[in-house]
């Protein structure tokens, strides 16, 4: 059994070496990398633009907001995507453009009778000060706090907007919006937060300070858990990168963003 | 001509063999190069024994994760080792050869099931069961231990079966001739003779359990706390690396490599013990002959 594994790993190594060696450089291709929350939208937009302009080549990668900033800085990607309320100091040297906005929804299990959380309650829950749904007027059951991993754009934005959060050690941590949704959907006592775009009927979105997380409320500036999605460029955008950014900011691009569940930049 | 071909094949195999070793060395070198300077900068004491992990605030203590990894591994062994060894005894001693020839490969198929599938079943079936019947968030040490306990079964069973099968039949015949029952022959003679092989199987399984990542991320809940009960949610060393790697830059990234160094050392120690145990078995047999 172990010999087979050894053979397999050697074979895998050979394939990997061949793949790296065989990868030629594409002409005039640009890479867009970063935020996993915006990745599907960027892919959709790139697809639409490339359908119209077959001479352009745009590759979209994920990796997370931190990767987006790093790869824009290092030049590994021509455009970095980041969804943070405040860009970290190392990103100050980059040119940033807000291309969309994203709401962060607070979600609970559908069986939870609660329909609203105040900012103070959210802070209390995620700090571990409020530990039972009874304290919030719900049933007598312990609260399962579900959060994202350190470094996540969604978590960083969430904590920056709510302020004063020192995440309780009891919090269950999941590493994507999708797994947050599944965890909350599977646990009647859970509460979590995730990007507005992936909320579905398996979980119940509650209002925050009485405001629903809807495109209208966000555009009217009423809902508070909102973060911008940045495109980051080193220096001045030119060539394909500029065309892509212009397309994303055009009426058509913004309409695609809106149709797929995000909030336009303006 | 024939001589030349021999040489060529020999060289080719040598290169292939060394590329496997070289990749291992390169991986080790890379992890240590990234991780060790970090451990020295933060201080091994603060890194290993502090329970504060908040990378954004510059706090890197992996103590809760070390404890979590130990608990989950221990739990997995408490479930997997007795089941696996019992299965191996049953397959070797109480089942006809023809049946064993079908059952053993079937069990080894278990090793081919992707860990994400185990994790998925753990999340969908096991965690809700634990939450409704025992309390807590469900995603817990217990869930992780059960899932890992099942995942290590093929390792324990297949190596233990080989060890038990290698015990000469004359041992059993001798015991039976002295009036021992079947079970007495098994636990007084066969198990004693196969002991080091069985120990090796359990230690290799431990290595697998410590290193398992995907299934554990899915079922253990990944909370950053020192567990006080099997129902608490925990984060293991491997889960920490896999979860935060995508988001980590700078010091945070180095801290994850340093976590990898700790993991690497733990697994190396376990594998060395297993190798030593197997070697002693072979040596012991040679002496008796």
Please list every residue in chain A whose beta carbon sits closer than 8 Å to the beta carbon of residue B235: 173
CB within 8 Å of B148: residues ≥ 6 apart: B72, B73, B75, B76, B79, B80, B209, B212, B215, B216
- pLDDT tens sequence across B219-274: 999 999 899 999 999 999 999 999 888 777 788 889 999 999 999 998 888 888 88
Chain A contact present for B104, CB below 8 A: no
Note whether residue B63 is domain-resident. yes
CB within 8 Å of B26: residues ≥ 6 apart: none
CA distance A191 to A185: 10
- For residue B4 the two structure tokens come to 């030349």
Tell me the backbone φ, ψ of residue B235, rounded to 5 degrees: -120, 125
- pLDDT tens sequence across B27-75: 999 999 999 999 999 999 999 999 889 888 888 999 999 999 999 999 9
Burial class, A84, CB count within 10 angstroms (exposed 0-12 / middle 13-18 / buried 19+): buried
Note whether residue B194 is domain-resident. yes
B109: closest chain A residue by CA = A1
Chain A contact present for B195, CB below 8 A: no
CA distance A68 to A34: 4
Residue B197 Cα to chain centre, angstroms: 15
pLDDT at A215: 81
Please list every residue in chain A whose beta carbon sits closer than 8 Å to the beta carbon of residue B124: 186
CB within 8 Å of A245: residues ≥ 6 apart: A79, A97, A99, A231, A233, A237
CA–CA–CA angle B58, B60, B63 (5° rounding) = 155
- pLDDT band with cut points at 50, 70 and 90 for residue A199: confident
- For residue A247 the two structure tokens come to 């397309």
> Cα dist. B130→A142, A189, B124, B209 in Å?
15, 14, 11, 21
Domains in chain B, number:
1
pLDDT at A4: 52
**Percent over 90 (pLDDT), chain A:** 41
Note whether residue B161 is domain-resident. yes
CB of A251 within 8 A of CB of A96? no
CATH class name, domain A30-101+228-264: alpha beta
Nearest CB among B225, B244, B249 relative to A169 is that of B225
CB of A154 within 8 A of CB of A104? yes
What is the average pLDDT score of chain A? Answer: 85
| Segments making up each domain of chain A, as ranges | 30-101+228-264, 103-219
Burial class, B45, CB count within 10 angstroms (exposed 0-12 / middle 13-18 / buried 19+): exposed
Note whether residue B165 is domain-resident. yes
Q: Is the pLDDT score of A236 beyond 50?
A: yes
Q: Is the pLDDT score of A26 beyond 60?
A: no
Note whether residue B22 is domain-resident. no
CB of B223 within 8 A of CB of B207? no
DSSP symbols for B159-226: HHHHHHHTS-HHHHHHHHHTT--HHHIIIIIIHHHTHHHHHHHHHHHHHHHHH--HHHHHHHB---S-
- pLDDT band with cut points at 50, 70 and 90 for residue B101: confident
- The dihedral built from the CA positions of residue A44, A47, A51 and A55, taken in this order, carries a sign that is positive
- To 10 degrees, what angle do helices B250-288 and B237-244 make? 140
Chain A contact present for B225, CB below 8 A: yes
- Bridge partners of A146, per DSSP, are A172
- CB B222 to CB A189 under 8 A? no
- CB A9 to CB B244 under 8 A? no
CB of A184 within 8 A of CB of A109? yes
Closest CA to B151 of B98, B115, B197, B105: B115
Chain A residues with CB under 8 Å of a chain B CB are 1, 6, 9-10, 13, 36, 62-67, 69-70, 144, 149-153, 156, 169-175, 179, 182-183, 186-187, 189-190
pLDDT at B2: 61
Q: Is the pLDDT score of A17 beyond 60?
A: no
**Strand A226-233 and strand A144-148: pairing?**
unpaired
- pLDDT band with cut points at 50, 70 and 90 for residue A38: confident
- pLDDT tens sequence across B126-151: 999 999 899 888 899 999 999 999 99
**Percent over 90 (pLDDT), chain B:** 65
**Strand A204-208 and strand A95-108: pairing?**
antiparallel
Q: Chain A to chain B, count of Cβ pairs less than 8 Å apart? A: 93
- For residue A9 the two structure tokens come to 């790993």
pLDDT at A28: 67
Q: What is the CATH number of domain A103-219?
A: 3.40.190.10
Nearest CB among B56, B225, B244 relative to A170 is that of B225
- For residue B206 the two structure tokens come to 């431990």
CB within 8 Å of A69: residues ≥ 6 apart: A34, A80, A82, A87, A88, A90, A91, A94, A232, B249
CA distance A99 to A125: 32
| Domain A30-101+228-264 identical in fold to domain A103-219 | yes
Note whether residue B17 is domain-resident. no
CA distance B41 to B250: 13
Q: Is the pLDDT score of A27 beyond 70?
A: no
Closest CA to B119 of B222, B240, B216: B216
Segment of A36-40, A146-150, A217-221, A261-265 carrying the highest mean pLDDT = A146-150
CA distance A96 to A93: 9
- CB B19 to CB A186 under 8 A? no
Please state the pTM of the whole predicted model.
0.80
Question: 3-state DSSP call for residue A86?
Answer: coil
CATH code of B119's domain: 1.10.3720.10
Note whether residue B28 is domain-resident. no
Q: Is the pLDDT score of A23 beyond 60?
A: no
3-state secondary structure B7-74: HHHHHHHHHHHHHHHHHHHHHHHHHHHHHHHHHHHHCHHHHHHCCCEEHHHCEECCHHHHHHHHHHHH
- CB A151 to CB B223 under 8 A? no
Q: Is the pLDDT score of A133 beyond 80?
A: yes
Chain A contact present for B222, CB below 8 A: yes
Note whether residue B16 is domain-resident. no
**Parent domain of B202:** 45-288
Closest CA to B261 of B11, B9, B33, B20: B33
- CB A1 to CB B224 under 8 A? no
Tell me the backbone φ, ψ of residue A193, rounded to 5 degrees: -135, 145
pLDDT at A261: 77
Q: Is A261 left (phi over 0), alpha (psi -120 to 50) or beta?
A: left
């Amino acid at each position: 059994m172990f010999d087979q594994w050894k053979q397999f790993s050697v074979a895998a190594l050979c394939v990997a070496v061949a793949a790296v060696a065989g990868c030629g450089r594409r002409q005039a291709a640009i890479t867009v990398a970063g935020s996993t929350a915006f990745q599907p939208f960027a892919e959709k937009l790139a697809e639409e633009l490339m359908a119209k302009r077959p001479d352009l080549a745009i590759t979209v990668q994920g990796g997370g907001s931190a990767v987006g900033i790093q790869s824009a800085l290092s030049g590994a990607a021509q455009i970095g995507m980041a969804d943070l309320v405040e860009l970290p100091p190392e990103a100050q040297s980059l040119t940033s453009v807000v291309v969309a906005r994203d709401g962060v929804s607070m979600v609970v299990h559908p069986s939870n009778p609660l329909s609203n959380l105040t900012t103070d309650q959210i802070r209390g829950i995620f700090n571990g000060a409020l530990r039972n749904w009874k304290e919030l007027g719900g049933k007598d059951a312990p609260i399962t706090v579900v959060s994202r991993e350190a470094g996540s754009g969604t978590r960083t934005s969430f904590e920056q907007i709510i302020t004063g959060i020192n995440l309780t050690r009891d919090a269950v941590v999941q590493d994507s919006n999708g797994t947050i949704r599944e965890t909350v959907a599977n646990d009647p006592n859970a509460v979590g937060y995730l990007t507005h775009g992936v909320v579905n009927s398996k979980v119940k979105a509650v209002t925050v300070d009485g405001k629903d997380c809807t495109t209208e409320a966000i555009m009217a500036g009423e809902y508070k858990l909102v973060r911008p999605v940045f495109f980051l460029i080193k220096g001045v955008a030119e060539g394909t990168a500029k065309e892509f950014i212009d397309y994303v900011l055009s009426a058509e691009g913004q309409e695609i963003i809106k149709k797929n569940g995000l909030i336009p930049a303006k | 001509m024939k001589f030349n071909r021999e040489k060529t094949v020999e060289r080719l195999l040598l290169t292939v063999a060394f590329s496997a070793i070289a990749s291992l060395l390169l991986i080790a070198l890379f992890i240590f190069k990234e991780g060790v300077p970090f451990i020295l900068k933060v201080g091994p004491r603060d890194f290993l024994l502090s329970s504060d992990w908040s990378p954004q605030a510059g706090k890197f203590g992996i103590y809760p994760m070390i404890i979590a990894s130990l608990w989950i591994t221990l739990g997995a062994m408490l479930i997997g080792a007795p089941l696996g060894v019992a299965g191996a005894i049953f397959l070797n001693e109480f089942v006809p050869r023809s049946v064993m020839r079908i059952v053993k490969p079937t069990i080894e198929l278990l090793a081919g099931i992707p860990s994400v599938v185990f994790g998925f079943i753990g999340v969908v079936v096991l965690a809700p069961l634990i939450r409704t019947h025992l309390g807590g968030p469900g995603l817990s040490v217990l869930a992780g231990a059960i899932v890992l306990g099942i995942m290590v079964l093929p390792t324990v069973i297949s190596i233990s079966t080989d060890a038990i099968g290698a015990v000469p039949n004359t041992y059993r015949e001798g015991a039976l001739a002295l009036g021992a029952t079947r079970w007495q022959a098994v636990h007084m003679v066969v198990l004693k003779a196969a002991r080091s092989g069985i120990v090796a199987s359990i230690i290799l399984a431990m290595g697998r359990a410590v290193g398992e990542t995907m299934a554990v991320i899915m079922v253990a809940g990944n909370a950053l706390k020192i567990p006080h009960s099997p129902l608490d949610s925990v984060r293991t060393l491997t889960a920490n690396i896999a979860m935060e790697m995508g988001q980590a830059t700078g010091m945070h990234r180095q801290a994850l490599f340093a976590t990898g160094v700790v993991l690497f050392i733990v697994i190396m120690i376990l594998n060395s013990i297993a190798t030593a145990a197997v070697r002693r078995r072979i040596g012991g047999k040679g002496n008796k002959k």
